[in-house]
Amino acid sequence: MYQTTYHRASTVDEAASLFAKGTEAKFLAGGQTLLPVMKQRLASPSDVIDLAKIKELIGVEASGDTLTIKAATPHYDVATSDVVKKAIPALAYLATLIGDPAVRYRGTIGGSIANNDPAADYPAALLALDATVKTNKRSIAAADFFKGLFTTALEDGEIVTAVSFPVPAKAGYSKMPHPASRFALTGVFVAQTKSGEVRVAATGASQNGVMRVPAIEAALKANWSPAAIDSVSIPASGLLADIHGTAEYRANLVKVMAQRAVAAAG
């Protein structure tokens, strides 16, 4: 009743063609979402196509002002990469905060953003750093990639191959973890580009998934300091509320985490 066929693809092209052959195929990266869902019998794919061993999908590269993290690179590798730590230390730090060690050894950046959990950490970094999502078909700006809860611009069968980040002048991330899941109750990524543009993104807060925070961006554009955010008021409307945090609490966290992220960014 719950038969599934497991395939280990060795190239992106092979993965795409396997997907096309399946009646209800799913890509598997680190398996941190798909496997629990399958165990709960909430998903029953005909074919599971494992991307985790595809060599062209693994690794980190820095070139000029761009850092590229390939899609099947696990969080642990990002967290400990000297290349990432040098180019965008806030991104390496963010990866240290994802889940627990077991999650970080298996979970991947491509899997995380393709799933687009509204409380995942990476989407905040992508949006704040104005990253570009590379797929086997095209390039998509982060702002166009995330489309609300668990929804992205990816088409059926499209495979994320890498994420490229412009190296910012300054960046910082601060996160209040959910006490049970350790996802972000609210996490805020702040970045100042080399041309002086300020971008701030919050995850875990909005009912529509990762979001920019224009009020904080404006305050930081005028004065890049935690104190600049003191007078900003974040409305609670449209924010998530659950047993671990009211909407008002999350509104407060957007502000407080932004201040701490700025302090961390220096």
The residues of the shown chain that bind other proteins, judged by CB under 8 A, are 1-2, 41, 176, 179-181, 185, 243-246, 248-249, 252-253, 256, 259-260
Q: Residue 261 corresponds to which tokens in the numbers above?
A: 């992220």
Q: Residue 224 corresponds to which tokens in the numbers above?
A: 């890049």
Minimum CB separation of residue 222 from other proteins in Å reads: 22
Beta strand 170-177 pairing with 132-135: unpaired
- Using the minimum distance from each CB to other proteins, give the nearer residue, 129 or 251: 251
**Positions of E strands within 57-214:** 60-63, 66-70, 132-135, 139-141, 160-166, 170-177, 184-192, 198-203, 211-212
Cα-trace Rg, the chain? 18
Minimum CB separation of residue 136 from other proteins in Å reads: 32
Q: What is the DSSP letter of 146?
A: B
Q: Residue 174 corresponds to which tokens in the numbers above?
A: 């601060």
- Using the minimum distance from each CB to other proteins, give the nearer residue, 66 or 246: 246
Minimum CB separation of residue 73 from other proteins in Å reads: 25
- Using the minimum distance from each CB to other proteins, give the nearer residue, 73 or 259: 259
Tell me the Ramachandran region of residue 64: left when phi exceeds 0, alpha when psi lies from -120 to 50, beta otherwise. left
Minimum CB separation of residue 11 from other proteins in Å reads: 33
- Using the minimum distance from each CB to other proteins, give the nearer residue, 233 or 243: 243
Minimum CB separation of residue 96 from other proteins in Å reads: 13
Query: Residue 190 and residue 170: Cα distance in Å, rounded?
Result: 8
Query: Residue 64 and residue 155: Cα distance in Å, rounded?
Result: 31
Minimum CB separation of residue 178 from other proteins in Å reads: 8
- Using the minimum distance from each CB to other proteins, give the nearer residue, 166 or 187: 187
CB atoms within 10 A of CB 13: 13
- Using the minimum distance from each CB to other proteins, give the nearer residue, 179 or 214: 179
What are the Cα distances from residue 4, in Å, to 25, 63, 140, 253, 264? Answer: 9, 41, 31, 42, 46
- Using the minimum distance from each CB to other proteins, give the nearer residue, 148 or 179: 179
Minimum CB separation of residue 74 from other proteins in Å reads: 21
